Amino acid sequence: MEEQSDADFPELSSEAAAERYHTGRVPNGGKGRNRPKLMLMGQRRSGKSSISGVVFQKMPPSETLYLETTTRPEESSSHSFMDFQIAELPGHVNYFTPDFNQANIFAEIGAIIWVIDAQDQYLDALNQLIDTITYLAQTWPAINVEVFVHKVDGLSEEYKNDTFRDIRQRILDELSDMGYDNAPVSFYQTSIYDHSVFESISKVIQKLLPQLPTLESLLNSLCSTCRIQKAYLFDIITKIYIASDTSPQDTNSYEICSDLIDVVVDISELYGWPRPKDDQSDRLEFGNHACESMVTMEKKGHNYLYLREMNRYLALVCIMGDDNPMERKVLIDYNVGVFQEALAKVFQW
């Protein structure tokens, strides 16, 4: 990758240029540029607190059984590469009456995650969701609506897919009847008992990162030079991946890579070296002191995996192609080093 010094660049101050010439989608509001803010909505006991607990607070899924019902809007944030902010709106309140200041609630929100309990009756939830989508489409059109068809772990494969299709179809039909043909709505099947909720939240957050297209094309070129099958850039603490290359994805490649992070983090807590204490400045530091790379094979006959820390918070995890990357490790390390330098530039501009 080269910098093009003679490229056509608009005559604007860098601040103004950043405002107008972003490469992806910016969340609502200017202040929280590097702090994607998510809002969890949905009926009570649909699983909102569980999702935010499991993904952002490392709560074991079984402990969510003892969560108390949320009665007031709650906010929490998670300290990692990007400070994700997560808010929860309790389900039983109608927020679209004049009693509520909607600007307070919705300004700065990048995405609304609407949680539907797939094991329960969902028709009421769908009506509420449609009201919300049409309201947002008129007033806050930049907010993405992400529908989590949740708790699918308890359903048989067939029933799960039928439910998912039914929910999706009802919402899309209803919206199209009302004339909203391309409202920004996406659908996911999730459960806190497997990786699906992490993977879905990753996709939700990626849509809010203006750097995503750049990261994807960097990962694409890394993959083609090093014969990598699939590469993920992980936030180590939350195990959310903030970008991956754009090749098609196997169902379990995310799972394999995120498990590898678990193993490595657990081992390095036991046998690693002391890391510098938490402070804001090392977040954007992509120095070599924190980097170690390794190649492993999960099971005999499977592809090799490659992991390297990019900095304290980010790790690159790759599923390698069919040959043995051990012989090429030096070359791969070198290329990943170049990738790491590019990454530093992407996040420091």
Ligand X SMILES: Nc1nc2c(ncn2[C@@H]2O[C@H](COP(=O)(O)OP(=O)(O)O)[C@@H](O)[C@H]2O)c(=O)[nH]1
192 makes contact, choosing from ligand X, Mg ion, none, with CB < 5 to 8 Å by partner type, with ligand X
50 touching ligand X, by CB under 6 A = yes
65 touching ligand X, by CB under 6 A = yes
The total number of residues written for the chain in this structure: 349
Closer residue to Mg ion (CB): 36 or 53? 53
Stretch that binds Mg ion, among 65-73, 131-139, 227-235, 254-262 (CB under 5 A): 65-73
200 touching Mg ion, by CB under 5 A = no
Smallest distance, ligand X to C-beta of residue 290, A: 34
74 touching ligand X, by CB under 6 A = no
* DSSP-derived secondary structure letter, 328: G
49 touching Mg ion, by CB under 5 A = yes
70 touching ligand X, by CB under 6 A = yes
64 touching ligand X, by CB under 6 A = yes
* DSSP-derived secondary structure letter, 59: -
Quick one: angle between helices 253-271 and 196-206, nearest 10?
100
70 touching Mg ion, by CB under 5 A = yes
244 touching Mg ion, by CB under 5 A = no
Q: Which residues pair with 147 in a beta bridge?
A: 114, 187
Positive or negative, the CA dihedral 281, 287, 292, 298 is: positive
CA 281 to chain centre: 23
150 makes contact, choosing from Mg ion, ligand X, none, with CB < 5 to 8 Å by partner type, with ligand X
* DSSP-derived secondary structure letter, 93: S
Q: d(Cα 293, Cα 315) in Å, to the nearest integer? A: 10
What DSSP element (H or E) covers 144? strand 144-150
CB contact burial 85-99 (16+ within 10 A = b; e otherwise) = bbbbbbbeeebeeee
Closer residue to Mg ion (CB): 78 or 311? 78
Stretch that binds Mg ion, among 8-16, 40-48, 127-135, 223-231 (CB under 5 A): 40-48
Stretch that binds ligand X, among 62-70, 218-226, 246-254, 341-349 (CB under 6 A): 62-70
Contact 347, 235 (CB under 8 A): no
Nearest C-alpha neighbor of 322 from the set 251, 253, 257, 228: 228
Closer residue to Mg ion (CB): 91 or 325? 91
Smallest distance, ligand X to C-beta of residue 175, A: 23
Stretch that binds Mg ion, among 20-28, 46-54, 169-177, 289-297 (CB under 5 A): 46-54
Positive or negative, the CA dihedral 297, 301, 302, 306 is: positive
Stretch that binds ligand X, among 3-11, 146-154, 206-214, 325-333 (CB under 6 A): 146-154
Positive or negative, the CA dihedral 94, 97, 101, 105 is: positive
Binding residues for ligand X restricted to 148-187, rule: CB under 6 A: 150-151, 153-154
Torsion angles phi and psi, residue 142, rounded to 5: -85, -10
Residues that bind Mg ion (CB under 5 A): 48-49, 70
Residues that bind ligand X (CB under 6 A): 42, 44-50, 64-65, 67, 69-70, 150-151, 153-154, 191-193
